Each structure stands twice: as C-alpha cells, then as structure tokens.
Amino acid sequence: MTTEPAPPTQSQPAGEPLPAGYRQGVITAITVFIGFSLAFLRYWAFEAPGDWTLRSLVALVLMLIPIFGQIHALYRALLIEDDNQASYRVTIKWFLWSVVGMLFAVCAAAVVVSGATH
C-alpha cells in the first residue's frame, strides 16, 4: 500500500520554494521601478511644458498600462503563494513586460515632447 502525499493547502504552496532572498530582491526592484514610473508620470502630467494634445494623451495611456502591470507584479510578489518557483516566474514575467512597456512609453513621451511627429 502506497501513500500519496497530501495535496498542498493555501498555507503550504505547491512546488519548490525559492532560495532565501529572491522575493526580497524582486520586491525591492519592483518598488524602485514603480517609484520611477510614478515620478516620471507626475512630471509628464503636471510639470512638463506644453499643451495637452491627442499624442500626449496617447503617451499618458501608454505610461499608465505598465504602471498597472508593475503594481500587479508587486501584488503577486507579496502573496504567500509567490514563494514557489512556478508562481515566482509568472511574477517576474509580469514585472519584465511592465518594464519593457514603460521604456516604450517613455520613448513615446520623448517623441511627443520633441515634436518629431508633426
């Protein structure tokens, strides 16, 4: 007679746990990028010279989408379930794609400020 292991519960996440320090590092990285993104958004929305145009509104929306992705990645990183490698990988993907999206949005904002799309 073989005994099968009990299925994981909410207090015991499935999968292999992360090495010590991985979660803390990614949480720090995510919060640094959220801080940069919000500071840039504040500058773009309130301090940058010029009038609002359709292009600047598009750039604003392009900035908001990755910021929400970064906040979602932080939410996932703070979950207890993120202590296993499979969930951690998904969180890292959310974070990396939100960083790539923010880089794209900052480039779009630079194009709008430079007036290169006239």
7 within a domain of the structure (yes/no):
no
Alpha helix (H) ranges present in 22-84?
A: 22-42, 54-78
Write out pLDDT tens, residues 54-65: 988 998 999 999
47 within a domain of the structure (yes/no):
no
4 within a domain of the structure (yes/no):
no
Write out pLDDT tens, residues 93-106: 999 999 999 999 99
Helix (H, G, I), strand (E, B) or coil at 83: helix
Number of CB atoms found within 10 A of residue 94's CB? 20
23 within a domain of the structure (yes/no):
no
Q: Which parts of the chain have pLDDT scores under 50?
A: none
91 within a domain of the structure (yes/no):
yes
Place of tokens 């992705």: 69
CA distance 33 to 31: 5
21 within a domain of the structure (yes/no):
no
Q: How many domains does the chain have?
A: 1
The amino acid at 113: V
Q: In which domain, by residue range, is 80 found?
A: 55-118
